[in-house]
Amino acid sequence: MLTLYGVYRSRASRNFWLLEELGLEFEHVPVIQAYRLPDPEAEDAPFNTLSPGFLQISPAGAVPVLRDGDFVLTESLAINHYIARKAGGPLAPNDERENALMEQWALYGVSAIEPHALAIMFAHAENRAKTPDGQAEIARETARLRRPLKVLDSHLRENGHMVGGRFTVADINMAEIIRYAQAEPGLIDAYPAVANWLADCHARPAFKAMWARRLAEPA
> Does residue 102 share a domain with residue 14?
no
Query: Is the domain of 71 the same as that of 154?
Result: no
Q: From the first residue on, what is the mean pLDDT of each consecutive set of 10 residues in the chain (219 residues)? A: 97 98 98 97 96 97 98 98 98 98 98 98 96 98 98 98 98 98 97 98 98 95
* Structural domain harbouring 64: 2-90
Tell me, yes or no, whether 210 lies in a domain: no
Q: Is residue 80 located within the same domain as residue 106?
A: no
How many folded domains does the chain comprise?
A: 2
CATH number where 132 lies: 1.20.1050.10
Specify whether 63 is located in the same domain as 143. no
Same domain, 56 and 156: no
The domain boundary, picked from 60, 90, 120, lies at: 90
32 occurs within a structural domain: yes
Last residue of a domain, one of 28, 55, 90: 90
Q: What is the pLDDT of residue 173?
A: 98
Q: For every residue of the chain, which 3-state class applies, written as one string? A: CEEEECCCCCCHHHHHHHHHHHCCCEEEECCECHHHCCCCCCCCCCCECCCHHHHHHCCCCCCCEEEECCEEEECHHHHHHHHHHHHCCCCCCCCHHHHHHHHHHHHHHHHHHHHHHHHHHHHHHCCCCCCHHHHHHHHHHHHHHHHHHHHHHHHHHHHCCCECCECCHHHHHHHHHHHHHHHCCCCHHHCHHHHHHHHHHHCCHHHHHHHHHHHHCCC
Q: What is the pLDDT of residue 156?
A: 98
Q: What is the pLDDT of residue 219?
A: 84
